[in-house]
Amino acid sequence: MFRDRSILITGGTGSFGRVLTRNLLRNQAPRRLVIFSRDELKQYEMRAEFGDDPRLRFFIGDVRDRERLARAFNGIDTVVHAAALKQVPAAEYNPFEAIKTNVFGAENVINAAIDCGVERVIALSTDKAANPINLYGATKLCSDKLFVAGNSYAGGDGTRFAVVRYGNVVGSRGSVVPFFRQQREIGEIPITDPRMTRFWITLEQGVLFVLKSFERMRGGEIFVPKIPSMRVLDLAQAIAPDCETVEVGIRPGEKLHETLIGEDDARRTLEFEDHYVLVPEFPWWNDEARGGRPLPDGFSYRSDNNEWWLGVEELRRMAEKL
């Protein structure tokens, strides 16, 4: 569905954007692929990585700047919105900056997409948007609701918006795997809490799920993949089995377990073979025509009540590939 299409990725120089770019150029044959980001150094490095592919364009800009977005969205068919301020401590210390990028930036993307006639937009969300306890999660919850509501603003035949929500991406910049590898050289692995669990998804898996969601979307959905859980203590043992672990306590704004679907959201969620869909409350969104199974009362999808777990050996094999 991306053949001969013009695609734009906001925050395209990030870890996700680079893997998505590689996949699109190799497998999808787009007519034009625009990388929209505010960091000229990362754009320079990315240009060197991908060479002089004539389909690849670089556009310096910030999602806070609506006029710049409108210029960049001209002639674009598909948008992946990956730009965000994502560091929890930074968002707690700079709350207004997080709101400007994650909330007002989302509004700008929605308005620019509608005004420029973009056909489909998928925004990346996070587990922290489900029952948020920190500012980053709260801003992403606001963003999710804006993108769902954007379908109403666009009208029946206008731009379609959807959201993809998953947990921490292992192997991305700032993730726990490279941190544990760095600490391995010191001989000591800090663990916030030995009970802590997390969902596991790689960059490649996240990219493939986003691309598949473009095929599935009709507008207003929040797509959640079925992915395995891991114990952070098992991951430390897999990466640094000979190192001592030191419990340092949970950091401000951090959860003991991740939540992708809370009990309240589960009442309007459908289950499919490899994913869940939080359905929008639109009169034109027909549940029966879409398929899927309603979830039972009291259901929640958390990293500690997941049925799919990765052991130490599986984690070691997967971590070696990152």
Burial class of 65 by CB neighbour count within 10 A (0 to 12, 13 to 18, 19+): middle
Choice among 128, 140, 212, 255 that is catalytic? 128
Q: Cα–chain-centroid distance for residue 317?
A: 24
- Residue 225 zone, left/alpha/beta (φ > 0; ψ -120 to 50; rest): beta
- In the DSSP assignment, the letter for residue 172 is S
Question: How far is Cα 311 from Cα 280, in angstroms, rounded to an integer?
Answer: 36
Task: Assess whether 42 carries a catalytic annotation.
Answer: no
Contact (Cβ atoms closer than 8 angstroms) between residue 168 and residue 132: no
Contact of 30 with 3, CB cutoff 8 Å: yes
Cα separation of 63 and 2, whole Å? 23
Structure-block tokens of residue 72: 């960049």
Cite the beta strand spans of the chain per DSSP E: 6-10, 32-37, 56-60, 78-81, 120-124, 160-164, 169-170, 188-191, 197-199, 201-202, 222-225, 229-231, 244-247, 259-261, 269-271, 275-278, 293-294, 301-302
- Give the residue from 1, 253, 244 showing the smallest Cα distance to 135: 253
Is beta strand 169-170 parallel, antiparallel or unpaired with respect to 201-202? parallel
Active site residues: 128
